[in-house]
Amino acid sequence: MVDSEVLSGQLIANEIDVVHENKKSDHNIVVVNTCGFIEKAKEESINTILDQVELKKRGKLDKVYVTGCLSERYKQNLEAEIPEVDAFFGTMELPMILKQFEADYKTELIGERLLATPQHYAYLKISEGCNRTCAFCAIPLMRGQHVSKPLDELVKEAEGLVKKGVKEIMLIAQELTYYGLDIYKKRMLPDLLRRLSDVKGLEWIRLHYAYPSKFPMDILDAIVERDNICNYLDMPLQHAANNMLAAMKRQITREEMEDLTAAIRQKVPGICLRTTLIAGFPGETQDDVEELKEFLVKQRFDRVGIFTYSHEEGTSGFALTDDVPEEEKERRAQEIMEVQQEISLELNQEKIGKTFKTLIDKKEAGRYLGRTEFDSVEVDNEVVIHSKKKLPIGEFVNVKITKAYDYDLEGEVVD
Ligand code: SF4
């Protein structure tokens, strides 16, 4: 999304009209920005390309360009398989896409982009690529080694976002905790957090995708110190059984992860911990699934997401036998999520009667939908608010929780 926003920003600066996912269908050129890290994402990308190619064949489009991860990874195959596409570009070829539009790459536009999100929140990509070697992960193949963006540039970008009305930024990177090691030779996420926290008008800063091994605890000092850094941490753990963690090359054991989450919770009481898991990695047995479920019961994570394992060529996991059938992977994922569903409901029920500062995201079917500091966009809980009074989208209100569901809350506005 951020890459699309940057491309759109560059095109607009070159006086070319750009719309994200134009609903009016009055455009003549389409750029499909693809994902390619797991099978489901690849299928979705290919279907989207084929839909656009079909429109081109029917004379509704002049050109179709394809960029992003799928294109980076499978350019030659795609060129041969879908010759109707006018050109394919890799993840680092933004200036070459612009050339197709006879547009210049404007370096002075650093951080300028056409937001695809509502005006009140935005993603801030603090680095690109990853130096880790997780056995299942194809991301480093497509995004390369870790490259941090300079700290001053990110602060400038955040200031620019606030000027546009952004109140919440979600810090993203393939691996957040590595920030700074390449360009400053030390981990700089705490420094970056404090500088961003000083940006006037920025009300919520949220952290996504922290790698657990050698987690730098001083990140938590910044979270405790600053009110506008959300008590929220997204830390993908992938599994809990030590044999699986070793096979996945995660450089951490279950015991170390347990110590880490305990230390994080002790340092930041009430922090919302989100994690993501993988079901069906090669060699996974039902015993491993049982261990993962027991780990979840013990850990009581606030938020959990799960992927089924995707056997990706070029990763070290590809040398293993993909021995868990697809259906079984799905069944395991569901079984694991059923455990979490109960935990999530219990945690949500504990919120009844409490009041939370809530950001109003949108109005849908006559009700307002918002989020607390413990909920990120799209992946986490929503707060459903019934209000006869008009509520301002993109503003904060205090909401008293009246009802709890598995993954959502319901409440009313209080003064
Ligand atoms: S840390 Fe994340 S992006 Fe990096 S290799 Fe592991 S799973 Fe992939």
Domain extents in the chain: 2-107, 109-349, 355-414
Residues of the chain scoring pLDDT < 50: none
Residue of 216, 133, 122, 132 whose CA lies nearest to 168: 122
Residue 249 has what pLDDT? 98
Q: Tell me how far the alpha carbon of residue 133 lies from the centroid of ligand 1, in angstroms.
A: 7
Reported as a single tens digit per residue, the pLDDT across 278-322 is 999 999 999 999 999 999 999 999 999 999 999 999 999 999 999
Mutation choice for ligand 1 from 127, 132, 310, CB with most ligand atoms inside 8 A:
132
Q: Tell me how far the alpha carbon of residue 129 lies from the centroid of ligand 1, in angstroms.
A: 9
Fold match flag (109-349 vs 355-414) = no
Do 139 and 127 touch, CB atoms closer than 8 A? no
259, 299, 301 from 292: Cα distances, Å:
16, 10, 12
Distance CA 74, CA 71 (A): 5
Distance CA 155, CA 351 (A): 35
Distance CA 154, CA 199 (A): 11
CATH superfamily of 109-349: tm_1862 like domain (3.80.30.20)
CATH 2.40.50.140 fits 355-414, yes or no: yes
Residue 110 has what pLDDT? 72
| Ligand 1 atom, smallest distance to 140 CA | 5
| Ligand 1 atom, smallest distance to 143 CA | 3
| Ligand 1 atom, smallest distance to 131 CA | 4
Residue having the nearest C-alpha atom to atom 8 of ligand 1: 137
Mutation choice for ligand 1 from 174, 249, 251, CB with most ligand atoms inside 8 A:
174
CATH 3.40.50.12160 fits 2-107, yes or no: yes
Residue having the nearest C-alpha atom to atom 6 of ligand 1: 134
The length of the chain in residues reads: 415
Ligand 1 residue neighbourhood (C-beta within 6 Å): 130, 132, 134, 137, 139-140, 174-175, 211
Per the rule left: phi > 0, alpha: psi between -120 and 50, beta: everything else, 102 is left
Residue 108 has what pLDDT? 81
Q: Tell me how far the alpha carbon of residue 368 lies from the centroid of ligand 1, in angstroms.
A: 36
- Contacts with 226 (C-beta within 8 Å, 6 or more apart), sequence order: 193, 194, 197, 205
Residue of 284, 271, 303 whose CA lies nearest to 380: 303
| Ligand 1 atom, smallest distance to 137 CA | 8
| Ligand 1 atom, smallest distance to 209 CA | 2
Residue 123 has what pLDDT? 97
Q: Tell me how far the alpha carbon of residue 372 lies from the centroid of ligand 1, in angstroms.
A: 28
- pTM of the predicted model, to two decimals? 0.94
Residue 356 has what pLDDT? 97
| Ligand 1 atom, smallest distance to 175 CA | 1
